[in-house]
Structure 1
């Protein structure tokens, strides 16, 4: 498996769900249940919206290998880009807004790198067009903004130790990556 495939798998539903579970647990147990609820409702809502948009684009757009780079393809919006942006974008919000010190900085940078890495590899692996990935970001960013607002209203800046969150976001998605199980593979056996 190539490095690009590993990076793009950070947006795979299995791996992103593992990261989302860590965020949910951290939000529920260490922060505020309302913040955790906003995350879950936003994530479920954006996944449902993405599924509907994919059905529409599948019926109206060319396949990715025939679409121009700035044209939406039948795979638009990129589900990996949507999941990566929501999950790791919300993680970045938690690190920056509630954390302090080196773990908060490392976690924020790691989260942003995951989003950028998934976005770039979806295009370089020729799975999506640039427009598909941009559409994924556009669909996902309002959820991150809503989550950031909930965190700003409900949580105190710099009051939470985020080292455990950082460790969880490395460990659980890492185990999901190592498992090799992917929902988006043609064959799951």
Structure 2
């Protein structure tokens, strides 16, 4: 079975609303997370491209549903970050609504990668999104990102706490300590994405 070529990713298309998405074949993995958890950096590092996904010093710069294509039948979807406090309430609610729609009704969706800042742990909105994904019965990968900012003892402690929290919510998820900046856990994540791709064929 041929594995994915992570260096072959290319930007495909952007959408402002879920109802406008006109790509309805193949399979895809969605990338979600609270604003400023490092989604854009993850895409650039994962696919070894410096500017495939825009990285900004301003949280929440992704304001569209961005489709990235790895091959003709497999995609990575970068959804806007949710919850940044400096956004207007109307703007935040709009994107939370669109993300929920995508997660619930997107038939091509086979897995979700959710980024959580290991320093701040799960936010209420993260848990709400996890409950929505749980209903779909698809693969959930939780990345405890920015782990380069804490020592090994705290990494282990945060990982154990995350496992306990997810188990207490009766959510089945794959959790790993991660760092986009230092590329901690990149190979492991690629293997998981490859497995999802192979199982979708």
TM-score, normalized by length of structure 1?
Answer: 0.27
Structure with bigger RCO (C-alpha 8 Å, 6+ apart): 1
Q: Which has the higher helix share?
A: 1
So what's the TM-score if we normalise by structure 2? 0.26
